[in-house]
């Protein structure tokens, strides 16, 4: 690393580079349906790229704003989920969004963790 790069990083908080996720993500591809009627019509094929017990990454052509609320329905490994989340980030160039699940019941969280574990095998 050059001296200039070190000098530029000296004022940067190291936590800015830390992984803020508290749940392990695993690669997983499955179809996700949007439960809002207007979203269901526009998000013709939304597929997950990865999932954790706390959220997932989706590939979708529909534009979303960070902070927007979404309701998702998905069947994963024989388990049916109906979850609410908020858009945590948007990558327009990759047609991808990150969804952080909100108001997840303890039962759903356990089921999600079992699904995540099944993808690790």
Average pLDDT score over residue span 63-71: 92
For the record, the structure tokens of 102 come out as 């909100």
Please report whether residue 11 resides in a domain.
no
How far apart (Å, rounded) are the C-alpha atoms in residues 46 and 49?
A: 10
Average pLDDT score over residue span 105-112: 94
Please report whether residue 78 resides in a domain.
yes
Please report whether residue 77 resides in a domain.
yes
Please report whether residue 18 resides in a domain.
no
pLDDT tens figures, 76-97: 988 899 999 999 999 988 899 9
Banded model confidence at residue 6, pLDDT cuts 50, 70, 90? very low
Query: CATH no. for residue 43?
Result: 2.40.10.220
- The DSSP H or E segment spanning 74 is strand 69-76
Is 111 in a helix, a strand, or coil? helix
Domain that holds residue 30: 23-120
Please report whether residue 17 resides in a domain.
no
Please report whether residue 79 resides in a domain.
yes
For the record, the structure tokens of 115 come out as 């699904």
How far apart (Å, rounded) are the C-alpha atoms in residues 54 and 59?
A: 17
Please report whether residue 96 resides in a domain.
yes
- Provide the number of structural domains found in the chain: 1
């Amino acid at each position: 690393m050059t001296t200039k790069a070190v000098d530029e990083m000296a004022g940067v908080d190291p936590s800015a580079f830390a992984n803020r996720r508290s749940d392990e993500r695993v690669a997983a591809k499955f179809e996700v349906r949007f439960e809002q009627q207007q979203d269901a019509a526009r998000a013709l094929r939304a597929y997950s790229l990865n999932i954790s017990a706390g959220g997932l990454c989706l590939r979708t052509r529909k534009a979303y704003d960070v902070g927007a609320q979404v309701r998702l329905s998905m069947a994963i490994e024989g388990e049916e989920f109906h979850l609410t989340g908020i858009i945590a980030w948007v990558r327009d160039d990759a047609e991808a969004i990150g969804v952080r699940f909100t108001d997840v019941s303890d039962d759903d969280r356990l089921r999600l963790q079992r699904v995540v574990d099944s993808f690790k095998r």
